[in-house]
Structure formats: C-alpha cells, structure tokens
Amino acid sequence: MSELKRVQRIESTPFQTYPEQNVHGWERIGSLAGGVVMMGKGLRRGGIFGLIQVAIGGVALARGITGHSSAKSLLEKSRQDMNNVRAKIERAGEELSRLKKNAEAATSTATVTGNDSLVSPKTGA
C-alpha cells in the first residue's frame, strides 16, 4: 500500500503577512490621542494646511489603532544592522590581535644567520 502524505495548511503567504505590533502602551495611547486632536484641528482650520494636519493626524491615528509604525520598523532594522556590523568589526579585530600574537610568538624564537639572500645568494641553485 502507498502512504498518503498529509497536506499542511498554509497560514499566510508573503502578500498576506500581518505586520507585528511595535508600538505599545503609552506610545500607542499618545498616538491615538494625538491623531484625534490633529484631525480635529485640521478639520476646523480648513484649507491646505488643515488638510495636511488631517493627513498627519490620520497617520498618527492609524499608528495607534494598528499598533504598527513603519518608520519605527525601519529605525529598528537599521539599528540592528548597525549592531551586526559592529559585532563583525569586533570579531575581525579579535582575529587580527590573535594573528599578531601568533606572528610575534613564531618570530620570537627565530634566529638570524646573517646571510642576506639578495646580496649573496646560495650557490648551486
């Protein structure tokens, strides 16, 4: 008899991924409150500057409702990339120090014969 393979359900595809929440607590409450205030002021003000205020307030309100900020994600990613580069540089420095110590240890026991091969090359070569 042949064995049937069990089919696993795909929970999400790359186009259906939900952003993780990176705005929590007071920051989220502040975004909600600030968004409502900015939208209210923008609606009362009117004109192009009022429209800009409404747009900024809408972004802040959306940030508070969803709990996700794309700008904060980009900052966190760049900070993580910088930390990765810093760790690589530190590892390279440690490797360089280790190589220097090995080279010093290898040359500390070397003796000089006084034969400079550029001035007096070995005969028969």
- Please write the tens of the pLDDT for every residue from 88-105: 999 999 999 999 999 888
Model confidence pLDDT, tens digit, residues 54-68: 999 999 999 999 988
DSSP H/E element including 70: helix 70-108
What is the distance between the alpha carbons of residues 63 and 70, in angstroms, rounded to a whole number?
A: 9
Helices (H), 46-69: 47-66
Q: Cα Rg for the chain, rounded, in angstroms?
A: 33
Q: Which amino acid is at 13?
A: T
Beta strands in the chain (DSSP E): none
How much is the mean pLDDT over the chain? 84
Model confidence pLDDT, tens digit, residues 8-21: 766 666 565 656 78
In 3-state terms, what secondary structure has residue 7? coil
